[in-house]
Structure 1
Amino acid sequence: MKVINDVVEWLVQTGLLSVLAIFLLKQLKPVLDNKAQHSSTEQSKALWTLLEQVADMAVTSLVNQDKSGREKFDEASMIVNDVMRKQGYRLDSQVIHTAVQSAYEKSELTPTVKIKKEDK
């Protein structure tokens, strides 16, 4: 036990312990930063997936209602905003509109307009 105490005391007195600690921190910082960035990316992916699912459900629920396209879009945006706020997420309206528009375009239940090219 005395030998261990002597070694630790020697490391502290010579400053080697400080140098070793600084070296380890410099080596670990990129690893920790990478982990934090990866975690942030995964959270963003999960949030976007949730947003897409909510937007898909909102668009699907409004397909057969007797309203104009703009009214359906606005109502779907409100539904998505309310659901996301209840989940604890406050999103910009532009992000919500983008998700609703994407859901509308992906939905097989919504009508699509095909433009015919006239032969000249």
Structure 2
Amino acid sequence: MVLAQTKAKAPPPPELEKLDEGPDTGVTIVKPEQRKITEKREKGKVNEVEVKSGKSTYTLRGDPGVGNTAKGTQNGDANRPAMWTVKQFGGPKEVKEAEEIPTLPPAPVSPASASAAAAASSAAASKK
């Protein structure tokens, strides 16, 4: 009876070896896309769900029940596809730097036009 109560000793755990670090594999871990889900309810029932996932936005709308139509009839059980938001106008505008427009230097003055300009300026000065 005494032998049945003694515990057998378990073997010691094996010794673990330290492994060397291998070369970097070039794998990058990217965080999952953030999704924003907005539900619009009317009388406790979800009518519209807007999902923003990354740069894309789409809207899911449920069919309104018409009267007391039964499922399986033309008006009672129809699925609507998702509506993707393609472009929205009126948002913040991008500010672009104004590019400087290249200008040409003034044309050289010819001797004939210089004498005509001098005569016109002296005539205007003598009338004052």
The answer to whether the superposition gives a TM-score over 0.5 is no
Structure with greater strand percent = 2
Identify the structure with bigger relative contact order (alpha carbons < 8 Å, sequence gap 6+): 1
Structure with greater helix percent = 1
Larger CA Rg, structure 1 vs 2: 2
TM-score scaled by length of structure 2? 0.21
